[in-house]
Structure 1
Amino acid sequence: MGLLSLNYRRPAYVEKQTSRRIDNGGEFDEKSDVSLKSGRAGVASGIPDALTFDRIVNGGTCPPCTIRDFMNYLIYIEHSAENLQFFLWYRDYVKRFHEAPASEIALAPEWTPAMEEDAIMKIQKDAASKMKKESPIVREMFKGTDFDKTPDMLRVESRDPFSTPPGSSAGDNISLSGSQATTYIGHTGDAFSAAGVKRPFTIQPFRAEINRVIATYIVDGSPRQLNLSAREQKAVVQALSYTTHPSAFTTLSQTIETTLRLQAHPNFIRWTICNGNPARVTFARGLGAGSIILAAVGSIILTLSSAGRGWRALFAFLWVFGIATLITAIKGMCVVLHGLHHRHIRPWELFVSGDNDSEMTLGEGKQSFDSFGSCNSYEDEPWIVRYRRRFIIRKIFDREVWIQEPALRQIQDTIFLQSMLSALLGAGILTAIFVAVPAGGLF
């Protein structure tokens, strides 16, 4: 594969508050809508067509850009793996639902936008009624704060999926496995009661599975609780009390997909471009800065001496090396690893299958693709303590693995070429300046 354009820029880090989703019934602005429907983040954003969100989740990429790598990133770096887990479950559920016999599908009517709007209005009315029953003293106390929830404020409540921290946490320790396999029935019943609806018609298709989804992703304290507002939570529970049709998840699935496409995916690609661990990148930054300082000191000394001007040009090689190394390190890359097209093995990959490289299977240590697994907490995994105890020099020279994804190597080649061209330009200017200065003749 050839290089990308020389004006290429890697994906910018997407902050949580930069979501373009607005509270207008699930609509997006034009740019977001195009990205969501096409599955393309666009070359302008630094993500080539070969690394789009859809290609990753459909298995069209190679390590370290596979869906398993994406899942590991969401678990260990972004701490929001429940979004991808729900997305994968919902995509599979839609397919299975429409493949069910027509007689079963007829038992689960579609949840229409009008029904959802009515449900939301009812939730707002109930909240307003509850507010009126409160003491005037209490309302005055919380006036102007986040607790002052008037009906008008409820109508404009933000539905920004990035506005609050992700739901995965070490404290979520509820599991649906083992002796607790039947507890989801109780959690689901509590959810229906909290939403003010009755338990649903039980012969609808996939009703038991939907109950487990509610207990796993929707209710408060669930092992993979999604980042939902109280209104969104009640609205989806009311929809699921009426039907098991996939349309009951329409708004929720759009919110999750928006988060994945417009925040998690660009951040994942940006993070994957880095081929070294933090210790190696810090070392590379120090090496680049040290080389630049050494070249500057050497050039100054020769300029102040009686040595010929030509000797000062010898430091051009050090200028080039230092500037190129520093620029690539600022972008998370090590030039040595790039020269081999290698990357450091991630900490959670190092101790999966012992110390034998030939026996190591990357990213197999967590059953993260189980739709109804336990919480995504990893604080009790043994690699954390072992890696923390690892000596800093060993971290700098950790084990490496070949980068298999051609598109990622293409991005890294482009960044390296940009760094070299910048280094040659900078070194040429600095060398010309020192060579042009008359000799000091001080010694």
Structure 2
Amino acid sequence: MVYPLNYRRPAHAARAPSSHGSITGTEKPKSIDDSLKSGSSGMSHGIPDALSFDRIISGGTCPPCTTRDFMNYLKYIELSAENLQFFLWFRSYTKRFNDFPNNEKALSPEWHSNSDTDAPTRAKCSNLEAAAIFKGTDFANDSRTSEAEKTNPFFTPPQTPNSDLRRESGESMDSYEASIVSGLRTDHVQRTTNAFESAGLKWKPLSVQPYREETSRIISIYIAEGGSRELNLSSKERNALLHALQNTTHPSAFRQVIATVEWSLRCQAHPNFIRWTICNGNRPRVIFARGLGIGGIVGGFIAALLITFSGAVRAWRVLSLIGFMIGISTLIAAWKGMCVVLHGMHHRHLRPWELFASDDEPAGSIDIKSDSYESLVCIGSSNSYEDEPWVAKYEKRNIVRKVFDREVWIQEPALRQIQDTIFLQAILGATVISFIIVGIFCAVPSGNYY
């Protein structure tokens, strides 16, 4: 089964140099809605519904179109993996926040960005609600606090560092510090404080609010200038988010930023990922296929010229059709990034980072759908990969080995259908062009030169 013969693979969507691009903040949600509506109709801009963004993110696709493959593409090809990492974190964060009891969620009221003048009122209301909740507890009465501090439920009394993180993660303090916090806390607190100061705000860690420590880490990694995985945000978007997070940790505080990130993923990264995935060979193999295509065409011309210049009957000139058919079809497929030899077996080349994956932890072994991964995807160093071992190893491979790299079967049915369609288009296009060329040669009188 193939798609309609007028199918066209997704056009390359250029990345905006900054968030100040031609599309405005109000147009981004509309673009996302249009993407959702068109995606549910079966085919959207060369992307079938089986390979839609939501289906990939939800884990409904097979290699090489999984969420892990999407993440690798953004990290190694587009160099923008932070968008998907932040998107996955936010999805997990929203789910975990909504699972909180109402009395804890009341500590972080919903944020309305169009009413900044009401921020003091909202803060006062939330303080009163929190005071009622913590009345009679150590938060409201602690011998180590001043009288003014006792009336402020958002004042954090002295306690074991990161006790709120330990509660959120469900881990013991020893294991948590050993894995993440011990090397990041001091650094991320300083970066978070600097981010608020640069926006003209004062950072007040309100640890009684749910996930205050986690949002602090997110600010230092994704929002603060110079963060290890800094998002491509405008200063207006960054300042608006910091202003919101100064008052609440409710997921609605990220509304504007997540719209920018989701628009980038849906309207730019996702189409480019599908276009790139259609290519079943690496660049050396595609160039080699193009060379074979040109060689086939040249061979067809040589055969047609020799037969035409000879005294053979015109019917023999049809033999040149074989060279034209093979050469033109191979060239058309290679022009779209496909090798017809690999396609004949529905194979693809392993990506460079897949070639050197260790046997005990192969690429894609982490379950990207699990909440544990989504909650930890925000943790770690930058997305730079220049120091990864496979980079040097792949550069040392000679060109012949790259052309004939290891192959693997394509598991995703929708991707195989797209490639079948492109291959059929190449065959039909080559047939039409070849018959025209051979027809021209057949119309030329015999040369009778030998």
CA distance in 2, matches of 1:372, 1:442: 76
Q: Where do 5+ consecutive residues of structure 2 fail to align?
A: 120-178
Evaluate the alpha carbon distance shift between residue 30 and residue 217 of structure 1 in structure 2; reply closer, same or farther with a 3 A threshold: closer
TM-score w.r.t. length of structure 2: 0.80
Q: CA deviation at 1:279?
A: 0.4
> Conserved in 1, the CA contact under 8 Å of 2:20 and 2:234?
no
Give the equivalent residue in structure 2 for 1:154.
Answer: none
Contact 2:13 2:271 in 1 (8 A): yes
Q: Which residue of 1 aligns with 2:60?
A: 60
Instruction: Name 1:165's counterpart in structure 2.
Output: none
Structure-2 residue corresponding to 1:101:
101
Code of the residue aligned with 1:57 in structure 2: it is I
- Spell out the pairing of 1:11-410 with structure 2 (5 A cutoff): 11-17=10-16, 25-28=25-28, 32-36=32-36, 40=40, 43-115=43-115, 179-200=183-204, 201-353=206-358, 361-363=362-364, 370-410=377-417
Q: Secondary structure at the match of 1:408?
A: helix
Q: Deviations over 1:137-184 (max 9, x none)?
A: xxxxxxxxxxxxxxxxxxxxxxxxxxxxxxxxxxxxxx9765344321
Distance 2:427 2:397 in 1: 33
Residue-by-residue CA offset, 1:102-161 (whole Å, 9 max, x unaligned): 111111111103235999xxxxxxxxxxxxxxxxxxxxxxxxxxxxxxxxxxxxxxxxxx
Q: In 2, are the aligned partners of 1:345 and 1:401 still within 8 Å (CA)?
A: yes
SS at match of 1:16: coil
Aligned mates of 2:249, 2:415 — CA distance in 1: 41
The superposition leaves residues 275-316 of structure 1 with CA deviations (integer Å, 9 ceiling, x where unpaired) of 000000000000001110111122112111212212211111
Q: Post-superposition shift, 1:21?
A: 7.5
Backbone CA RMSD of aligned residues = 2.6
Q: CA deviation at 1:364?
A: 5.1
Q: Match for residue 166 of structure 1? A: none
8 A Cα contact 1:12 1:270, kept in partner: yes
- Counterpart of 1:7 in structure 2 is 6
Identity of aligned residues (%): 55
Report the alpha carbon displacement of residue 431 of structure 1 after superposing the two structures with TM: 1.3
Amino acid at match of 1:14: A
The question of 1:433 aligning with 2:436 is answered no
Query: d(CA) in 2 for partners of 1:37 and 1:254?
Result: 17
Gaps in structure 1 of 5+ consecutive residues:
120-174
3-state SS of 1:414 partner: helix
**Contact 2:39–2:48 under 8 Å retained in 1:** no
CA distance in 2, matches of 1:78, 1:41: 28
What is residue 422 of structure 1 aligned with on the other side? 429
User: What secondary structure, in the 3-state scheme, does the structure 1 residue paired with 2:111 have?
Assistant: coil
Aligned to 1:151: none
Which secondary structure state, in structure 2, belongs to the residue aligned with residue 270 of structure 1?
A: helix
Matched residues in 1 for 2:257 and 2:111: separation?
13
**Given the superposition, is the C-alpha separation of residues 177 and 40 from structure 1 closer, same or farther in structure 2, using an over 3 Å criterion?**
farther
Q: Shift of residue 207 of structure 1?
A: 0.4
Asked if structure 2 preserves the Cα contact closer than 8 Å seen for 1:20 and 1:29, the reply is no
Letter in 1 for 2:15: K
Residue identity matched to 1:15 = A
- Which deviations, in whole Å up to 9, do the C-alpha atoms of 1:171-202 show, x marking residues without a partner? xxxx9765344321111111222222222333
SS of 1:401's equivalent?
A: strand
Corresponding letter in the other structure for 2:2: L
Q: Kindly tell me: are residues 309 and 178 of structure 1, through their superposed partners in 2, closer, same or farther at Cα, counting changes over 3 Å?
A: farther
Measure the CA separation in 1 of the matches of 2:314 and 2:324.
16
Q: Whose Rg is larger?
A: 2
